[in-house]
Amino acid sequence: MRVNAKDLLIEARRGGYAVGAFNTVNMETTHGILLAAREAHSPVIVQITEKTMEYGGGRGILRLVENLADCYYPDVPVAIHLDHGKSFEIVQHAVDIGFTSVMYDGSRKKFEDNLEATKKVVEYCHERGVSVQAELGNVPYMGEVDILNDSDWDRYMTDPQHAKVFIETTQADTLAVAIGNAHGFTRERSEADYERLENISQSISVPLVLHGASDWEDGKVLEAIQRGVSCLNVDTNIRIAFMHAIAQMCQSEHSISYDIREVLSKARDAVQKEVARKMELFGSVGRSTQK
pTM for this entry: 0.94
213 pLDDT higher than 90: no
148 pLDDT higher than 60: no
Neighbours of 195 (CB within 10 A): 11
Catalytic residue, candidates 7, 70, 83, 152? 83
3-class SS of residue 288: helix
Which has more pLDDT, 290 or 163? 163
Over range 100-116, report the average pLDDT. 96
User: What's the confidence (pLDDT) of residue 291?
Assistant: 47
**What are the structural domain ranges in the chain?**
5-235+271-289
Q: Evaluate the CA torsion angle 82, 85, 91, 94 in order and state its sign.
A: negative
3-class SS of residue 136: strand
> Any idea what the Cα angle at residue 209 is, between residues 11 and 36, rounded to 5°?
65
14 pLDDT higher than 50: yes
> Any idea what the Cα angle at residue 106 is, between residues 233 and 180, rounded to 5°?
50
Burial class of residue 93, CB neighbours in 10 A (0-12, 13-18, 19+): middle
Q: In terms of residues, how long is the chain?
A: 291
- Gap between the Cα atoms of 60 and 85, Å rounded: 17
Structural contact between residues 47 and 79, judged by C-beta atoms closer than 8 angstroms = no
User: What's the confidence (pLDDT) of residue 182?
Assistant: 82
Q: What is the full DSSP assignment across 234-287?
A: E-HHHHHHHHHHHHHHHHSTTT----HHHHHHHHHHHHHHHHHHHHHHHT-TTG
Over range 5-27, report the average pLDDT. 97
Q: What is the full DSSP assignment across 18-75?
A: -EEEEE--SHHHHHHHHHHHHHHT--EEEEEEHHHHHHH-HHHHHHHHHHHHHHH-TT
φ, ψ at 231 (rounded to 5°): -150, 135
- Gap between the Cα atoms of 140 and 277, Å rounded: 25
pLDDT in tens, 220-263: 999 999 999 999 999 999 999 999 999 988 886 666 678 899 98
User: What's the confidence (pLDDT) of residue 147?
Assistant: 57
For a pLDDT cut of 90, what percent of the chain falls above it? Answer: 80
Over range 119-141, report the average pLDDT. 94
pLDDT in tens, 35-91: 999 999 999 999 999 999 999 999 999 999 999 999 999 999 999 999 999 999 999
218 belongs to the catalytic site? no
> DSSP code of 177?
E
Q: Which helix (H) or strand (E) holds 122?
A: helix 111-126
Over range 266-287, report the average pLDDT. 97
Average pLDDT for the chain? 92
15 pLDDT higher than 60: yes
121 pLDDT higher than 50: yes
User: What's the confidence (pLDDT) of residue 217?
Assistant: 85
Provide the CATH topology of domain 5-235+271-289. Answer: TIM Barrel (3.20.20)
3-state helix, strand, coil in the chain (%, to 5): 50, 15, 35
- Gap between the Cα atoms of 204 and 197, Å rounded: 11
